[in-house]
Amino acid sequence: MDFSLSAEHELIRESAHKFGQTEIVPDLRERDREARSDRATLEKMGDAGMLGISIPAKYGGSDTDYISLGIVCEELERADSTARVVMSVHSGLHSLTLMQWGTEEQKQRWLPSLATGKLIGAFALTEPNAGSDASNLKTTARKDGDSYVLNGQKTWISLADYADQFLVITRLTETQAKAPYAAFIVNRNTPGFSSRAIHGKLGVRAGNTGEIFFEDMRVPADCMIGEEGDGFKVAMSALDHGRYTVASGAVGIITACLDACVPYANDRTVQGEPIGKKQLVQQMIASMAQGREIGRLLYYKVGWMKNTGQRHTRECSMAKWTNCAAAFDAANKAVEIHGAYGFCDEFPVERYFRNSRGAMIYEGTHEIHTIMQAEYELGYRSDKPLARMLPTWPFS
């Protein structure tokens, strides 16, 4: 058993960290205050090769393994959650799912542009009345000749105003399939498509989130991912990829909390000595370090399972559930350590607190993952290998 990272992994970490600190952090406080997202960030990430992480070279990607994707997400969220959200949505939920479920023609059609950032992808599952109850979809797809006609609404869609294409999960109105769901790649320029931004978010303020609408929107049949009836399986596979990026990103928040708290605790004095000498402050710092180390091991394991082609829904749920809770706890402690200064945006810890709370909701709430882990342990839930799995690494 080897726990060491390769030299390539370390270079990827260094590059992602440098990108986050030079391209994301400098004007972040202003963008967060103004709830202003920046489309140019996506282009910079594409130019830096980040959007091609864990995509085979034959599709225009970097040919790096799935652990590399986790490392990039960790370092980007160390800068800000908005950058990691791009990786979650574009790379995890969209590109990896297309790589897993798409035909060779579909992968050749879309992945090269996705890997370079010429196209930006997003994922559309959640609806006003279908969040944790993901099977309660109301968006419909009706077969009409060589195409499908979509009608409905999706909400809480990251990159809703920026993405060029969306992986959309729908309910089929007429089908002989055992499950009435289907997945489609939808182009935003298609007549009948529209989007609207959501404002007033607690966290991830510098990122774009919105609603998308389909009104008699016609989608060619060759844009279906998988077959009729595969839609729910495609969605759940996408969530495995998305949860992996969220779990690894959560470790970045914990690390960012330590980045802020360690120098503060050494510099801030009370009664003639640094507050870092106080045992209760040390307890909080130690808890953060514990969460960081456990979190890394959990997401490294999932990355290894992805590399070796194993089904990892249970392990990914555990990593997302554990790491997001640890990140929120770390951010809460970081605010406590900073005292009154932690309650304003002079220091970044209040932003970590707001952003980490959202991660306990999206990609499966804290309660959903609690139930999942209990059902696995009790024998009420089990996983079988899917008919279509991610390609193993090294890519052939």
Q: pLDDT tens digits for the chain (396 residues)?
A: 788 999 999 999 999 999 999 999 999 999 999 999 989 999 999 999 999 999 999 999 999 999 999 999 999 999 999 999 999 999 999 999 999 999 999 999 999 999 999 999 999 999 999 989 988 999 999 999 999 999 999 999 999 999 999 999 999 998 888 899 999 999 999 999 999 999 999 999 999 999 999 999 999 999 999 999 999 999 999 999 999 999 999 999 999 999 999 999 999 999 999 999 999 999 999 999 999 999 999 999 999 999 999 999 999 999 999 999 999 999 999 999 999 999 999 999 999 999 999 999 999 999 999 999 999 999 999 999 888 999 999 997
- What the block records as the tokens of 348 is 């970044």
pTM flag (> 0.85): yes
How is residue 242 written in tokens? 């998305």
Element containing residue 281 per DSSP (H, E): helix 279-307
For residue 344, count other CB atoms closer than 10 A to its CB: 10
Helices (H) and strands (E) in the chain, counts: 12, 10
Q: Whole-angstrom Cα distance, residue 137 to residue 172?
A: 10
The letter for the amino acid at 89 is V
* Beta-carbon contacts of residue 277 (< 8 Å; ≥ 6 apart): none
What tokens appear for 26 in the block?
């400098």
Question: Which residue in 346, 363, 375, 377 is the catalytic one?
Answer: 363
363 in active site? yes
Largest Cα–Cα distance in the chain?
A: 79
Looking at domain 123-231, its CATH architecture is: Beta Barrel (2.40)
CATH class, domain 7-119, is mainly alpha
Q: Which two tokens stand for residue 345?
A: 């945006």
Domain boundaries, given as residue ranges, for the chain = 7-119, 123-231, 236-378
Dist CA 256 CA 268 (whole Å) = 18
Closest CA to 244 of 53, 61, 70: 70
Superfamily of domain 236-378: Butyryl-CoA Dehydrogenase, subunit A, domain 3 (1.20.140.10)
Q: One-letter amino acid identity for 393?
A: W
Q: 16 vs 67, 84, 87, 168, 351, CA distance in Å?
A: 13, 11, 12, 29, 20
